[in-house]
Amino acid sequence: MKKRAQLTLFIILGILIFFAIVFFLIYIRKSEMFITQEQNIEACFSNNLQREIKFLSFYAGLINPKFNYNYSGKIYPILCYTEEYLKPCVNQEPFLKDAFENSLKERIKEDFEKCFKDYADDLKKRGFDVEEGKISFDLKIEPEEVVVLINAPTIIKKGDQSSQIRKFSYRYKTRLYDVIMIATSLIQYETYYGDSEQMQQMFFYPNIKIIKTRTENGIKTYSIIEKEEDIEFNFAVRSYAFPPGGVI
């Protein structure tokens, strides 16, 4: 009886080991494929944009925001503020999309140049002559995408044949535009009414989750979360704050 139990155990273990090996092989293969894709310049752009969009969103698209509110260990840039009670907030960053574009451009500049350099190096390794010019970028946040316009005057030669790259664009799929516009809208509500109704926004944008927290002294923190892309856009406001007890 004891031996049969042991045998069963060994069989089960054998099956588990078999599946583990199969899983491991599949995983390794997938990783190798991924590494191959990584060589692609587009993948390089995409990874950098994804990382920087996430990073900047955390600070409302601002690099090192000075005017901020520290709450529960998080830094929330203050986008609309008044120190007074029962007064509308003063919009601190009216062109939020422009600010985000500028920050993103600044943050990805070096990474994009590196992507391009790696690409050129790869070509060189494969026996191409590559003449690289000065690379410049422009970037636009649009609905459903971030468009990066790249001016990279490059001549690629091999033997008698040559081809020239000048301007091209890279489109990165993201809902960042929606997130920024929702933030702009929440600030407009705060400026006018001193509050906002986040449920309505979440109803219209099912992929968006908005967490509003009323903290001390009338300061509210907002976190706009794009669930699929895992973007978290944080900011704080203070508008039409009520004095405790209603008397100033």
Partner 1 sequence: MKYKKFIFYLVVSSFLFSFISAVSYSVPSFCCERSKDGGICLNLEKEKCDLRYQTAPTSCEQTSFCKLGTCYDMKEGLCLENVPQKVCMEKNGSWSEKKPSELPQCQLGCCIIGEQAAFVSALRCKRLSTYYGIEMEYRKDVTSESDCILLANSQDIGACVTFKETGINECKLTTRKECGAKEGVISLNVNKSIAESETGKRFYPGILCSAPELNTECARQVKTGCYQGKVYWFDSCGNRENVYSSDREKSWNRGRIASPDEICERVSSNSKDCGNCDYLLGTTCTKWEGVFGIGKPTFGDYFCKKTTCKDLEGNTRLNGESWCVYDIEPGRGYEKVGSRHFRQICLDGEVITDPCEDYRNQICVHSGIPTTKGEFSTAACRPNRWADCLLQTRKKDCENIDKRDCIWTNKIEGLKLDPKNTQSNYLNPFNNPTSLSNFNNAQQAANIFQASQLFGGLTGRASVSLNNGLNVILSSGRGMWEPDFELLNKVTKFNKSEEEEGGICLPLIPPGNKFWEGQGSCSLASAVCDVTIKRIERYEGLLAGADAKKVYDYQIINSDGIEVESECLKWEGGKAPKGTSSKSYSLVPNPEWAIKANAICTSIGDCGANVNINNKYTDNGYIWRFRNSTFSLLGNIKKGLETKGTGYSILESEKILLNNNISIPLTNFVLTKPSENNYKIKKAEELRVGDVIVDSDGEEILILSISKSEIKNDKPFFRSLLEKIGGYQGERILGEGNSPVGLSLGEYGTGIKIMEKNNE
Give contact residues for partner 1 (rule: CB under 8 A).
65-68, 78, 80-92, 94-95, 97-98, 142-143, 181, 184-185, 187-189, 191-195, 197, 199-204, 206, 209, 211-214, 216, 218, 227, 240, 242-248
SS3 60: coil
SS3 83: coil
Select 44 or 78, whichever has its Cβ closest to partner 1.
78
Q: How many helices (H) and strands (E) does the chain have?
A: 5, 10
Give yes or no for a contact between 236 and 60, defined as CB atoms under 8 angstroms apart: no
H helix intervals, 39-175: 41-58, 96-125
Question: In angstroms, what is the minimal distance from the CB of 150 to partner 1?
Answer: 21
Give yes or no for a contact between 177 and 224, defined as CB atoms under 8 angstroms apart: no
Give yes or no for a contact between 236 and 93, defined as CB atoms under 8 angstroms apart: no
Question: In angstroms, what is the minimal distance from the CB of 209 to partner 1?
Answer: 6
Locate 245 and state its tokens: 């007890």
Give yes or no for a contact between 47 and 34, defined as CB atoms under 8 angstroms apart: no
Select 89 or 146, whichever has its Cβ closest to partner 1.
89
Select 44 or 178, whichever has its Cβ closest to partner 1.
178
Locate 160 and state its tokens: 């008698």
Select 10 or 203, whichever has its Cβ closest to partner 1.
203
Question: In angstroms, what is the minimal distance from the CB of 3 to partner 1?
Answer: 34
Select 156 or 202, whichever has its Cβ closest to partner 1.
202
CB-based burial, 159-187: b 16+ in 10 Å, e otherwise: eeeeeebeeeebebebbbbbbbbbbbebb
Question: In angstroms, what is the minimal distance from the CB of 24 to partner 1?
Answer: 19
Question: In angstroms, what is the minimal distance from the CB of 193 to partner 1?
Answer: 5
Select 105 or 212, whichever has its Cβ closest to partner 1.
212
Question: In angstroms, what is the minimal distance from the CB of 67 to partner 1?
Answer: 4
Question: In angstroms, what is the minimal distance from the CB of 5 to partner 1?
Answer: 28
Collect all residues with Cβ–Cβ distance below 8 Å to 171 and sequence separation of at least 6.
145, 146, 147, 148
Select 8 or 200, whichever has its Cβ closest to partner 1.
200
Q: How far apart (Å, rounded) are the C-alpha atoms in residues 73 and 203?
A: 29
